[in-house]
Amino acid sequence: MENCMLRDDKFMDHGFMKREPKNTLAREHFENGKMNSISLLLRSNLRFSSIHNKSVVAYSSQAAKENVTIKKKKPISRAMRAYIDRVKQFEENLIVESKEYSDGKRFLANIMGEDPAHFTPKDVDKSVEYLLPSGLFQKLARPEMAPPEETIEKAKFDINGRPFHFLFYTGASHLYETQFETVKRINRAEKLLEQIHRKGHTPEKENKMDLVTSEWQDISEMEKTINESIRDDHFEQTMQALERLAQHPMSGHFKDFLMNYRKATTVNMTEMVFPEIQQDPDGRYSVQHTTKRKTAVATVTIRSPGEGKFVINGQPGLLYFSDVGAREHVLFPYQVTGLMEKVDTEVTVEGGGFNGQSGAIRYATSLCLAALVDEQGRVKLQLAGLLRRDPRVKERKKFGKAGARRGYTWLKR
């Protein structure tokens, strides 16, 4: 139901949207056939107008000359006229290009020895890649052959010169539409809450959306979702509105809408591989794992049950690290799983600095503990971000710079 709240013409307006939208909403529209029918309608309408403009429209100069039956010529501004001419040009161009494309496709099919009738755009891509092999890294820079509908930017205005999108003149139509829809839902949520209060009840917990299992998309993901580039301050505004809706006690009613702008945090635990548990001769269980962080490599062996002893590179206790933060790093997984002072840990670590070493130990420890704890404990570790390798590494030094970014001290010559 929520999906239907979005305007259909949003996708018509995606004239410059060259491929199938990645948005799930849009995909649904495609599946429903709505999008196709509407866009087809639109295209046919445009074509119709360009070919049979005599009887339908009265704004083109050509039409004005030919069709004398129209009583009075509607005044059109020069800019509008220029635009309409461009639209016409575009339509004509599109017809030529389409013919060229279909001719080229047939030609290509013949070269490749395929049946032109069943030569799909996929086959076109394949044969272009075969005939014109390119070593260029950028995919956009490689030769390609695509139908003109995909490569030529479509109009954002209808034949009457009115923009398709109702917020076109804001300059960021889809973003403002998101804000608009969000605020509409906040108002609806307020009303729902008021209804509950009027009955003398308090909203139940289930009415609020579960925000733990998902998190907000970042700006680049959001740009892909709404198919529009977003300014930082605009993004902040939008996030404020969305956050307000998400934190509302009735946010559960708008879960579908909110999930368009959120991504799941939990991954499927069953897919993850944890180190194997072995039984030592003394009857204790032990888990061993080796991980990396930056340039440090750590091998951690955890034995359960234990007393919370640490041995790092043969040195008892955590004082191998003189840095307090590094020691906190190492302890964190035990605190999350509640296994503090319940298991013994032996560590061999080499390479890197103290932060890299403690990070490597923390990652290995987390995976070992995940093998020892139950599903609930694993989720805790996962939510704490401990079951993912930290991919950050030192940024390389650049020439002309003192370090990765820092410039040399400027000296007056």
| Angstrom distance (rounded) from CA 239 to CA 47 | 41
- State the DSSP H helix or E strand holding residue 178, giving kind and residue range, or none if neither: helix 173-198
Run of H or E residues at 303: strand 296-304
Judged by beta carbon, residue 152 or residue 311, the one nearer other proteins is: 311
Q: How far is the CB of 316 from other proteins (least distance, A)?
A: 7
Total binding residues for other proteins by CB under 8 A?
14
SS3 335: helix
Q: Is 114 in the site for other proteins (CB under 8 A)?
A: no
Distance of alpha carbon 380 from alpha carbon 337, whole angstroms: 7
Residue number with CB closer to other proteins (171 or 316):
316
- For position 117 contacting other proteins by CB under 8 A, the verdict is no
User: Using the rule CB under 8 A, is 331 a contact of other proteins?
Assistant: yes
CA 196 – CA 327 distance, rounded (Å): 50
- The CA distances from residue 186 to 5, 214, 249, 268, 365, in Å, are 14, 20, 11, 32, 44
Q: Give the residue, chosen from 79, 136, 324, 411, that forms a contact with other proteins under the rule CB under 8 A.
A: 324
Q: Which is nearer to other proteins, 171 or 308 (CB)?
A: 308
Residue by residue, DSSP assigns 180-233 as HHHHHHHHHHHHHHHHHHHTT----GGGS---SSEEE--HHHHHHHHTS---HH
Binding mask 254-293 for other proteins (x = CB under 8 A): ----------------------------------------
Which residue of 2, 158, 328, 390 would you call a contact of other proteins, by CB under 8 A?
328
Q: Is 319 in the site for other proteins (CB under 8 A)?
A: yes
Smallest separation (angstroms) from other proteins to the CB of 317: 3
Contact stretch for other proteins (CB under 8 A) within 2-10, 33-41, 275-283, 330-338: 330-338
Pick 280 or 341: Cβ nearer other proteins: 341
Is the CB of residue 116 less than 8 Å from the CB of residue 103?
Answer: no
Kindly state the smallest distance separating residue 329's Cβ from other proteins, in Å: 11
DSSP 80-138: HHHHHHHHHHHHHHHHHHHHHHHHHHHHHHHHHT--GGG--HHHHHHHHHHHS----S-
Shortest distance (Å) from residue 307 CB to other proteins: 8
For other proteins, the binding residues in 201-220 under the rule CB under 8 A are none
Distances (CA, A) of 307 to 275, 303, 304, 343, 372: 22, 10, 9, 6, 16
169: β partners = none
Residues of this chain, 341-360, that bind other proteins according to CB under 8 A: 341
> Alpha-carbon distance 39 to 280, whole Å?
68
**Shortest separation between residue 386's beta carbon and other proteins, angstroms:** 17
Applying CB under 8 A, does 143 fall inside the site for other proteins?
no
Q: Which of residues 299-318 bind other proteins (CB under 8 A)?
A: 308, 310, 316-318
**136: contact with other proteins by CB under 8 A:** no
303 vs 327 by CB, closer to other proteins = 327
CB atoms within 10 A of CB 295: 14
Q: Tell me whether residue 289 or residue 327 sits nearer to other proteins (CB atom).
A: 327
Please select the residue that binds other proteins; options are 40, 340, 393, 404, rule is CB under 8 A.
Answer: 340
| Site residues (vs other proteins, CB under 8 A) | 308, 310, 316-319, 324, 327-328, 331, 334-335, 340-341
